[in-house]
Amino acid sequence: MNFTLKIWRQKDAQSKGAFKEYKVENVSSDTSFLEMLDILNNDLVHKGEEPVAFDHDCREGICGMCSLHIDGHAHGPSQAVTTCQIYMRQFKDGATITIEPWRSAAFPVIKDLVVNRSAYDQILQAGGFVSVRTNSVPDGNAIPIPKADADESMDAAACVGCGACAATCKNGSAMLFVAARVSSLAKLPQGRVEGARRAKAMVAKMDELGFGNCTNTGACQAECPKQISIAHIARLNREFLAAKLKD
Amino acid sequence: MAFKLDSKIPAGELAQKWSNHKAAIKVVSPANKRKLDIIVVGTGLGGASAAASLGELGYNVKVFCIQDSPRRAHSIAAQGGINAAKNYQNDNDSVYRLFYDTIKGGDYRAREANVYRLAEVSNLIIDQCVAQGVPFAREYGGLLANRSFGGAQVSRTFYARGQTGQQLLLGAYAALNKEIAAGSVKSYTRHEMLDIVIEDGEAKGIIARNLVTGEIERHGAHAVVIATGGYGNVFFLSTNAMASNGSAAFQCYRKGAGFANPCFTQIHPTCIPVHGTQQSKLTLMSESLRNDGRIWVPKKLEDVEALRKGTLKPSQIAEEDRDYYLERRYPAFGNLVPRDVASRAAKERCDAGYGVNETGLAVFLDFKTAIERLGKDVIKQRYGNLFDMYKEITDVNPYDEPMQIFPAVHYTMGGIWVDYNLMTTIPGLYAIGEANFSDHGANRLGASALMQGLADGYFVLPYTIGDYLSKKIQAPKVATDTPAFDEAEKAVKEKIEKLLSINGTQSVDDIHKRLGLIMWDNVGMARTKESLEKAIVEIQALRKEFWSDVKVVGTANSFNVELEKALRLVDFLELGELMARDALNREESCGGHFRSEHQTEEGEALRHDDKFAYASVWEYKGENEVPELTKEPLDYEFTHRAQRNYKD
Amino acid sequence: MGCFLTNSSLGRKLVMSISGCFLVLFILFHMSMNVVAIFSAEAYNMICGFLGASWYALAGTAVLALGVFVHFAYAFWLTWQNRKARGNVRYAVTVTEKGVSWASKNMLLLGVIVILGLALHLSHFWAKMQLVELLGHHENNLGLEPTDGAALIKYTFSQWYNVLLYLVWFAALWLHLTHGVWSMLQTAGWANDTWYPRLKCISGIVATLIFGGFAVVVVWFYLQTVCPCLAACGA
């Protein structure tokens, strides 16, 4: 298969970027999207040009490192997968594919397609944890948790922190990410204890970092590689409002 | 000068060793902890849990990772689960049984005391993770659920859907975040350790490169902890993440830390087969699939032919024409034999010509029986995400046709030598998790890597490191303007300049792929004297070629992925040779190390306990010098070594 | 607590939700009142009289105006913040994600159309009714009594361009409400996966009811001018 790639190139955070066109030829349909970029990069190296920088690591859809806005979709045209799980057979032979970095004020570009997502770390540092010390905990089975609650907590915990939600949201809102963590812990008795404090602290940090206001378009859940539901956003809203009203 | 290895294993009964040891080692008072700095390199389960626990204790911790967030470390990719001797299933599990299974699974090449301690603290891990809000799978009664895993006859594996590693890491990462917020831990993301600094024979800090700006930084500390995982990417194609590397561990080795059992590599039996030359990595299908999946190849060669031509579908092959070779060879454990055994059995069938895809390098993992027995819904509930992933990658629906799998490099049991305190041969330098060598012997059981990483990080290192640091309470802050730091930084900068100036004709990946092929063909699932000698010669030649013909584009002072890869490949090129040398030295078969010359009549691994009941510890002597071997004898006081038997 | 309604994104959203909810309730009432005009001009005028320049009607008007103002001001404020959050460089290629409604991404645009329609509507009706009364006059510039709403309706919707403009207005309102109604519940935290289909269905019903109720009056009175026989059977 052959493709024309329109890729965003940007030297560093300070420089202005622009699209550049590349051709990749004779790519097998079983090649993954990132392997296709590997092939392009290997060609570029041989030509003495700087390869395209892009984030990736586990290539199994779990580490959340890969990003890329491909033809208008965060993580490409398929549903429920990360960019590393996209295969070239999903594109038309001869297609022109536009590849952009995440675009969000809170995710500044570092180079080419690589962005800085440390804002997500900062939000979690604000309260995305249960304050327990190592070793001062009860037995794992001391508190039974209804299976449905544990399952729902797990649904939310599936978030890989890739940033697709904020990147795809027209408002640059990180609500799905924040909600996933708040909701996951809120469904467990262990997390309930400091639920109110957590919701307030994480929302405050999210606002402080310049993420936008959620308008419930649902684009985040549509593009989320882990299909996290906006029902968790509703729960975050509940948690937050209840906490505020108690203040 | 050979190492004088002191494993510091405490005396006494096996079950008392850890308690006795904890009672005997020194502690540091809270007021003094505040004065002590610790560097942790790596933020996987080991690194994150260690950094969080050490920060909680009051030490000043700096934690480094190469990814953009600590949460991305490759521990996250572990799917199946984590073992613990809780005996919640009432199937007569115990600390001793977990210990015994692990020792046996490791083919009697691990330290008894370490493994027992691992089994002992395994239960604490589950409690800890539950308290952190890890959403483990639960039964309807609200209590924790378990599943079975290879190498065990009890059900002791705790899991969180198909993402146990991720959930455990999120727990450790959350604990780390708590400490970062509290100010006791400072996190350096997109930073790579390029050298360890040794002064007066003790670890005093690291040289790191800021991967965004290219800046070379000095960081001093009273102790350094290496938690950078394994070096499976020597093979280029492996189940490891793209950036997983052996460089931090290798720098320790170059600076004098012993490297133990480098040849012990785990080849995981259930990976998706290689599909072409452009592939960048191999994808693992969780071992948990072997709970319900049955592994087979056709009995008749004509069926194999038809499969390869595409004229026959696997589902059309009749039951009596299928060879469920694991069930046939190992009736007691069946499809749940340990990984090394399952991998070798697959290789044996493929070598005999029964491989089922075009390349002849694949066997079937079939869910037909399970779907008939349990129904599609149950299977979907258990493995839905794995099935979807398989379909995504291969375009084949595993509900209708069996999966194709083949072994792939997955984990390295070998690593930096450590004593019972997890300290390397360099005082003040520690290694935990996959980066050390201590707990898995020659083969790791499924769901034990997560257990070891967290055991080391939460429950072992935070205690044992105090024994060393208690001697440092008078030591001032480590200065980084010393000759040792100057020298280390200079060497790093020179290496980078050299790499950028070669300007040859081959890319880093070109050479890495060639290294991978040499390794896979000669130091892979089956090794011989000839293949290993050949590998050593070829790797040496390739290394020469690398230093004269590699092309690294870009600059030193910028975000430069090619440079990062080149720096890692430099170390892989030496590590590969070390692995081959170790494999050559070990003239026996054990666990993941299979020397074709040493097998039983039935084709099982044949150990030579009289000659090789030791851990081989290698000392660096220079890039083109032969390293020196020191042997740490593995005395088995409490278990009887036997030929591993998974048949009855 | 007071300040979280301004300095927290979730607080600001709550203000949008509550003001929106208030407006939806008002519109539902207004729509029901309009429908009365189809059946009985007297009844309609009686309601108009009831809502004339009395103190409670004036207070109601003021609260209503405040609601509109808050909803509108917050909408601009949030949108301004959201554009800033999006960053300076925009995507070259954008698509509508699966399951995402056009309305949800264009609420401000729809809101502006609704407000413009409202301005037109106020000039057509309020300026000729309550305002006239407030100014102490007994006749508006059309020569109609300010309390004779029914006549005013008849007059306004005898002109086809008014009919067209009002229908566009109602359509924008319909789209705005299909997203707005369930969205306000989501923001208030009253939603989950089981309820999304139901809430969206309820949104559709509310929006359609409002659209239908308003549109039928406009169309009815227009048809009366086109076909006088209808007028006979109507009034």
Q: Which chains touch A (3 or more CB pairs under 8 A)?
A: B, C
Length of chain C: 235
Report the C-alpha gap between A24 and A22 in whole angstroms: 7
**B409 φ/ψ angles, rounded to the nearest 5 degrees:** -60, 135
> Which residues does B375 contact at the CB level (< 8 Å), separation at least 6?
none
CATH number, position A163 = 1.10.1060.10
Quickly count helices (H) and strands (E) in chain B: 19, 19
- Domain-ending residue, one of A111, A138, A155: A111
- Cross-chain Cβ contact A216/C186 below 8 Å: yes
Provide CATH 1.20.58.100 ranges for chain B.
483-608
CA closest to B52 among chain A residues: A134
**Contact between residue B149 and residue B157 where contact means Cβ atoms under 8 Å apart:** yes
Query: Nearest to residue A102, comparing CAs of A144, A66, A146?
Result: A66
Give yes or no: B527 in active site. no
Residues of chain B with pLDDT under 50: none
Same domain, A132 and A236: yes
Q: Does A234 touch chain C (CB under 8 A)?
A: yes
Q: Does A144 touch chain B (CB under 8 A)?
A: yes
- Domain-ending residue, one of A77, A111, A145: A111
Q: Tens digit of pLDDT for each residue in B424-457?
A: 999 999 999 999 998 999 999 999 999 999 999 9
Q: The domain containing residue A66 runs over which residues?
A: 3-111
Report the C-alpha gap between B267 and B443 in whole angstroms: 9
Same domain, A145 and A221: yes
CATH class of B483-608: mainly alpha
- Of B72, B97, B339, B586, which is the active-site residue? B339
Which candidate from A42, A65, A127 shows the least CB-CB separation from B509? A42
**Contact between residue C121 and residue C170 where contact means Cβ atoms under 8 Å apart:** no
pLDDT score at C139: 87
Q: Tens digit of pLDDT for each residue in C94-117?
A: 999 999 999 999 999 999 999 999
Report the C-alpha gap between B532 and A165 in whole angstroms: 50
Which candidate from C89, C107, C188 shows the least CB-CB separation from A237? C188
- The dihedral formed by the CA atoms of B585, B591, B596 and B597, expressed in degrees to the nearest 10: 60
Fold adopted by C4-234? 3 helical TM bundles of succinate and fumarate reductases (1.20.1300)
Q: Tens digit of pLDDT for each residue in C125-170?
A: 999 988 898 888 888 888 888 888 899 999 999 999 999 999 999 9
Which candidate from C9, C89, C94 shows the least CB-CB separation from A72? C94
Q: Does A15 touch chain C (CB under 8 A)?
A: no
Predicted confidence band of residue C226 (pLDDT cuts 50, 70, 90): confident
Q: Does A233 touch chain C (CB under 8 A)?
A: yes
Instruction: Using an 8 Å CB-CB cutoff, list chain C residues near A73.
Output: 95, 97
Interface of C with A in 154-183 (CB under 8 A): 179, 182-183
Please give, rounded to a whole number of angstroms, the shortest distance from the CA of A150 to a CA of chain B.
Answer: 6
Report the C-alpha gap between B225 and B59 in whole angstroms: 13
Same domain, A76 and A161: no
pLDDT score at A23: 97
Query: Nearest to residue A79, comparing CAs of A246, A219, A210, A216?
Result: A219
Report the C-alpha gap between B47 and B179 in whole angstroms: 13
**Contact between residue B574 and residue B623 where contact means Cβ atoms under 8 Å apart:** yes
Q: Does A57 touch chain B (CB under 8 A)?
A: yes
pLDDT score at B149: 85
- Cross-chain Cβ contact A121/B69 below 8 Å: yes
Q: Give the three-state DSSP class for B312.
A: coil
Kind of pairing between the strands at B60-64 and B37-41: parallel
This prediction has a pTM of 0.96
**Contact between residue B252 and residue B461 where contact means Cβ atoms under 8 Å apart:** no
Which candidate from A105, A218, A222 shows the least CB-CB separation from C85? A105
Q: Tens digit of pLDDT for each residue in A90-116?
A: 999 999 999 999 999 999 999 999 999
pLDDT score at B95: 98
Instruction: Using an 8 Å CB-CB cutoff, list chain C residues near A247.
Output: 1
Provide CATH 3.90.700.10 ranges for chain B.
272-408
Question: Encoding tokens for residue C215?
Answer: 């549109």
Q: Does A12 touch chain B (CB under 8 A)?
A: yes
User: Where are chain C's structural domains?
Assistant: 4-234
Please give, rounded to a whole number of angstroms, the shortest distance from the CA of C54 to a CA of chain A.
Answer: 36
Q: Is B408 exposed, middle or buried (0-12, 13-18, 19+ CB in 10 A)?
A: buried
Check pLDDT > 50 for residue C235. no
Report the pLDDT averaged over residues A21-42.
Answer: 96
Q: Does C196 touch chain A (CB under 8 A)?
A: yes
Mark whether C and B touch (3+ CB pairs within 8 Å).
Answer: no
pLDDT score at B398: 95
As a whole number, the mean pLDDT across chain A is 97
Interface of B with A in 374-403 (CB under 8 A): 388-389, 392-393, 395
- Cross-chain Cβ contact B133/A131 below 8 Å: no
**What is the secondary structure of A48-77 as a DSSP string?**
TPPPPP----SSSS-S-----EETTEET-S
pLDDT score at C53: 76
Which candidate from C8, C85, C89 shows the least CB-CB separation from A171? C85
Task: Name which of B54, B156, B178, B359 to mutate to probe chain A: the one with the most chain A Cβ atoms within 10 A of its Cβ.
Answer: B178
Task: Name which of A211, A215, A224, A245 to mutate to probe chain C: the one with the most chain C Cβ atoms within 10 A of its Cβ.
Answer: A215
Give the position of tokens 């020179």: B494
Mark whether B and A touch (3+ CB pairs within 8 Å).
Answer: yes
b/e map of A143-165 (b: 16 or more CB within 10 Å)?
A: eebebebbebbbbbbbbbbbbbb
Total structural domains in chain A? 2
Interface of A with C in 70-89 (CB under 8 A): 71-73, 79
Which candidate from B56, B77, B175 shows the least CB-CB separation from A60? B77
CB contacts < 8 A (A, B): 217
pLDDT score at B231: 98
Report the C-alpha gap between A104 and C91 in whole angstroms: 10
Same domain, A72 and A185: no
Q: Could you confirm whether domain B272-408 is CATH 3.90.700.10? A: yes
- Cross-chain Cβ contact A203/C81 below 8 Å: no
pLDDT score at C233: 59
CA closest to A6 among chain C residues: C92
pLDDT score at B644: 81
pLDDT score at C231: 63
**Contact between residue B312 and residue B303 where contact means Cβ atoms under 8 Å apart:** yes
ipTM: 0.98
Report the C-alpha gap between A124 and A209 in whole angstroms: 12
- Cross-chain Cβ contact A72/C95 below 8 Å: yes
Q: Tens digit of pLDDT for each residue in A186-209?
A: 999 999 999 999 999 999 999 999
pLDDT score at C1: 47
Report the pLDDT averaged over residues A32-61.
Answer: 97
Which ranges in chain A belong to alpha helices (H)? 33-46, 118-125, 147-157, 164-168, 175-186, 189-192, 195-208, 219-223, 231-246
CA closest to A72 among chain C residues: C94
Report the C-alpha gap between B386 and A190 in whole angstroms: 29
Which ranges in B150-292 belong to alpha helices (H)? 164-182, 247-254
Find the helix or strand (DSSP H, E) in which B341 lies.
helix B339-349
Check pLDDT > 70 for residue C2. no
Check pLDDT > 80 for residue C229. no
- Cross-chain Cβ contact A53/B52 below 8 Å: no
Same domain, A78 and A122: no
**Contact between residue B265 and residue B230 where contact means Cβ atoms under 8 Å apart:** no
Quote the DSSP letter at residue C126.
Answer: G
Same domain, A90 and A138: no
Q: Give the three-state DSSP class for B550.
A: strand
Same domain, A167 and A74: no
